[in-house]
Structure 1
Amino acid sequence: MPIPRHATSITLGVLTLTGLSACDGRGTAHGTTIGVTATETGCQVARTELPAGTHTFAVTNKGDKITEFYVYDKDGAIKGEVENIAPGVTRKLPVELAAGEYQGACKPGQKGDGIRVKLTVTGTSRALTTDPKLKAAVDTYRTYVSREADDLLARTTEFAAAVKARDVAKAKALYPVARTHWERIEPVAESFGDLDPAIDARENDLEAGQEWTGYHRIEKDLWTTGDVSADGPVADKLVADVTELAARAKSVSLSPVQLANGAKELLDEVATGKITGEEDRYSHTDLWDFAANLEGAMVAVDALRAGLAARNGALVAELDTRFAAVQSALDRHRVGNGWKSYPELSTAEVKELSDLINGLAEPISKVGAAVAAQK
């Protein structure tokens, strides 16, 4: 179906240097899996000195809180992440790493800077992007990201102008339109960890001492009191932050595995934020975000289609079927050029969407490993 957070404080975890599968002479790891044990007080990584190449971090949560695991480069950009790891659950994160210094981070309770572990990557690898099909996938997706970033800036500027003019009706109409472009490329936007919380944090996401800014701060005022008279500075900061994000998005470094992980992250966003109705809790425009996340995931998978089909054609067919089923169910809730208010959906309709997303989550979780596999 062809369709179209930067932390400063660092706590080192307990390290156990064990087991790594064989690598070829160029340092490329084939099927390397690195165990990570996450608890409330530790982040045990089985190996912290790695050859350049693709590695899969198998993160097991042995704590009592939901956790997440990130890999950051030396500049704080997110190279890969896996969220919502429940106690007792193991989730895998494939990441393609060039030579350099990185940090792994376990985040118990999904809060704070995390328990940090230094990762050192050496040597050279046979990069996946030397595969012409996968290189084309990255180029195609980068063009998509660039276009969406430009549209995000244009629509956000319009939204901010309406807020500053205190035109509540216009600002309400523009809010979900602007956010559509954010949600389509959210994994790339989130990779700039310092900008993501400034632009997209919800009130309950705030860390101690963090000022609440961004879309959701204005959303609350628009839909609870209708008084945005004090939101001019917030609107200006939002435009400034989105301007910087759009500029960074033009030169962001991407790998085929990141595209695959991004598609999975977008579906996780739907399953944990949009389905619950907590993302846009004041405006109830969650279906706009749902649709944008779904499109972004489809675009990433479609960019990878040729390379993925050469590795696992059956997986491509299953993804097409499941994407089509989710899109069909979602389309029943269209209203004009937009979507129903989320509370208008019945319990049965929400369950249908949830079940379909969960059904898609399983095959989408296989894409990263399939792409990373050498033909």
Structure 2
Amino acid sequence: MTPAPSSSSAPPQKLMRLALGGAVFLTILSGGLFYAATVQYGAQPTADVVKVEVGDKTCNPNHLSVPAGRQTFEIFNASSRPIEWEILQGVMVVEERENIAPGFRQTLTATLAPGEYRMTCGLLSNPPGNMVVTPTAASDASGDAVPSLKAFIAPLSEYKVYVTLQASAFERKAAALAEAVASGDLNKARDAYQATRLPYKQIEAIGGRFADLQSRLDVAALYLEKHEQDPAFTGFHRIEYGLYEQNSLDGLQDVARHLSEDAAALKQRLREAKLSPDYLASSASLLARRIADGRVDTGEDLYAHSDLVDFAANLVGMQKMAALLAPAMTGDALPAAQQLQARIEALSALLDSFKTGDAYPDYTSIKADERAKIKSAFNDLANAFEAAGDALGRVAA
């Protein structure tokens, strides 16, 4: 049994209020991202979609040009392994699909701003593809319309403080994990591992969009050519593999040290981040869908089996995002805020139903029908955050 994340892990309200004055955001990362997913085995693609076939080593086509605006992509896994497919702009994840099984198709829809993007093509070691998004009359007009963020200055500032404090906690606990690994005490290292994972999971919706850091901090062996033996298998799951599968600290000192360094780098990135209301909503939606599609069925924590703790910590972070944005969602946006709150409460109640006291059970004890309920609840939450993002755009306009 693993203790559930406590609300006490959130930063003290007094400290947050004191820090608000220096944490005002501006809008960046244009183009709100919205998602609609389907999964089919061997089915033929419909019209008006951009079709991408992912083989063992590359995407086909490997170079795309699409007009700005809402675009639907259909990804077919022609390789022999499960894959992920991502749209990246710089180091930021714009949209993604995880755990696409061989022979299956998945679709995603994203609203893309003009610019240059990259595509991951299966294994993380494969060369990326390129995508150019060209301007349109509609995108030019949209770029000229700068929304007012007056209603969101306070909630965005408070969220920045929350993220910064959680990132600081992650940095401290990662350093403590490195020390525990170096001490040679396996049980101490296991305790430190679980404590380090909680603050990271609470800010994963934002922190997980830095693709370069994410691929070092939380990469799954599934997406690496040599699985657990791949040199790129590092970060949390490499430590988890040693602690819980191999029951050994051998080879973990350097991994834990690098995790601590990456935690510090993430903290700095988040301090410098400029966020907008629709970006928060799209980030939460992306994470909720990532969990539903890629983590619930098979589990992510394949060695520690502490997935329910991860899910609960993710939900704590998403609850924070929703709670801070809700007061500004009035008028026509109110139904979206109410629906979002209802979905959060439903998922929270579902996760709580698995607890014994304050602890969650091993994820291997969660049956297929129970996992299906968790998956559905995360999909519902993703849809609710999408609707909230659309409503937030109307409020800010």
> What is the TM-score with the length of structure 1 in the denominator?
0.77
Counterpart code for 2:110:
L
Change over 3 Å in CA distance of 1:219–1:344 after alignment to 2: same
How far the C-alpha of 1:191 sits from its partner, in A, is: 2.7
In the aligned structure 2, how far is the partner of 1:108 from the partner of 1:174?
Answer: 32
Select 2:72's aligned residue among 32, 55, 58.
Answer: 58
* Aligned counterpart for 2:146 among listed residues 83, 108, 127: 127
Q: Which residue of 2 aligns with 1:261?
A: 282
Q: What do the CA deviations read for 1:65-89 (whole angstroms, capped 9, x no partner)?
A: 77644240xxx22162232497665
Q: Is the 8 A contact 1:277 1:284 kept in 2?
A: no
Deviations 1:320-350 (A, max 9, x none): 1121111011112234554221123344433
| Aligned position for 2:50 | 37
Contact 1:311–1:371, Cα closer than 8 Å, also in 2: no
Q: For 1:224 and 1:286, how far apart are their aligned partners in 2? A: 15
Corresponding letter in the other structure for 1:46: V
In structure 2, the CA distance between the partners of 1:312 and 1:177, relative to structure 1 (3 Å rule), is same
In structure 2, the partner of 1:91 is: 108
Counterpart in 2 of 1:199? 217
Q: Against the structure 1 CA distance between its residues 281 and 229, is the aligned structure 2 distance closer, same or farther, given a 3 Å change threshold?
A: same
1:29 to partner: Cα distance: 9.2
- Select 1:357's aligned residue among 378, 385, 389: 378
Secondary structure at the aligned position of 1:365 is classed as helix
Shift in Å, 1:267: 1.0
365-374 vs 168-177, greater mean Cα deviation:
365-374
Q: Give per-residue Cα distances to partners, 1:253-281, cap 9 Å, x unaligned.
A: 22222211111122123213442243100
Question: 2: CA distance between counterparts of 1:30 and 1:177?
Answer: 33
Moved more, 110-119 or 178-187: 110-119
CA distances 1:5-49 after superposition (whole Å, capped 9, x unpaired): xxxxxxxxxxxxxxxxxxxxxxx99999xx7613121264431xx
Aligned partners of 1:262 and 1:297 also within 8 Å = no
Contact kept, 8 Å, 2:340 with 2:388, in 1: the verdict is: no
State the match for 2:186 in structure 1. Answer: 168
Partners of 1:83 and 1:300 in 2: CA distance: 23
Give the root-mean-square deviation of aligned CA atoms. Answer: 3.4
2:44 alignment counterpart:
none
Q: Which residue of 1 aligns with 2:173?
A: 155
- What is the distance in 2 between the residues matched to 1:57 and 1:111? 26
The alpha-carbon deviation at position 189 of structure 1 amounts to 2.0
* Cα shift readout 1:108-139 (whole Å, capped 9, x = no counterpart): 678745321234679754334x3212343432
Structure 2: distance between partners of 1:280 and 1:105: 26
Q: What letter matches 2:198 in structure 1?
A: T
C-alpha distance in 2 between matches for 1:269 and 1:31: 14
What residue identity is the alignment partner of 1:204? L
Instruction: Decide which moves more: 76-85 or 233-242.
Output: 76-85
The residue that corresponds to 2:265 in the other structure is 244
Query: Is residue 46 from structure 1 mapped to residue 63 from structure 2 by the alignment?
Result: no
How far has the Cα of 1:285 moved from its partner? 0.6
Report the more deviating stretch, 79-88 or 288-297. Answer: 79-88
Distance in 2, Cα, partners of 1:220 & 1:193: 22
Aligned-residue offset at 1:291: 0.6
Residue deviations 1:83-106 (CA, integer Å, cap 9, x gap): 2497665432246x5x9x532536
2:285/2:383 contact within 8 Å kept: no
Counterpart residue identity of residue 116, structure 2 = Y
- In the alignment, the residues of structure 1 paired with residue 322 and residue 118 of structure 2 have an alpha-carbon distance, to the nearest angstrom, of 26
Structure 2 letter corresponding to 1:168: L
Find out whether 1:70 has 2:87 as its counterpart: yes
The residue number in structure 1 matching 2:317 is 296
**2:336 aligned residue:** 315
Q: Which of residues 199, 206, 215 is equivalent to 2:236?
A: 215
Q: Does the C-alpha gap of structure 1 residues 110 and 255 become closer, same or farther in structure 2, counting only changes over 3 Å?
A: farther
SS of the equivalent of 1:211 reads coil
By relative contact order (CA 8 Å, sep 6+), the higher-ranking structure is 2
Which residue identity is paired with 1:132?
A: K
Query: Is contact 1:79-1:258 (8 Å) kept?
Result: no
* Contact 2:75/2:107 (<8 A) preserved: yes
- Whether the 8 Å CA contact 2:285–2:381 is kept in 1: the answer is no
Q: What is the letter of the counterpart of residue 380 of structure 2?
A: G
Report 1:220-231 matches (<5 A). Answer: 220-231=241-252
Where structure 1 has 5 or more consecutive residues not aligned to the other structure, the ranges are 5-27
Partner SS state of residue 97, structure 2 = strand
Identity of aligned residues (%): 23
In structure 2, the CA distance between the partners of 1:270 and 1:62, relative to structure 1 (3 Å rule), is closer
Runs of 5+ consecutive residues of structure 2 not aligned to the other structure: 1-6, 11-29, 35-47, 54-59
Q: Answer whether contact 1:80 1:258 (CA < 8 A) is retained.
A: no
Q: Secondary structure at the match of 2:300?
A: coil
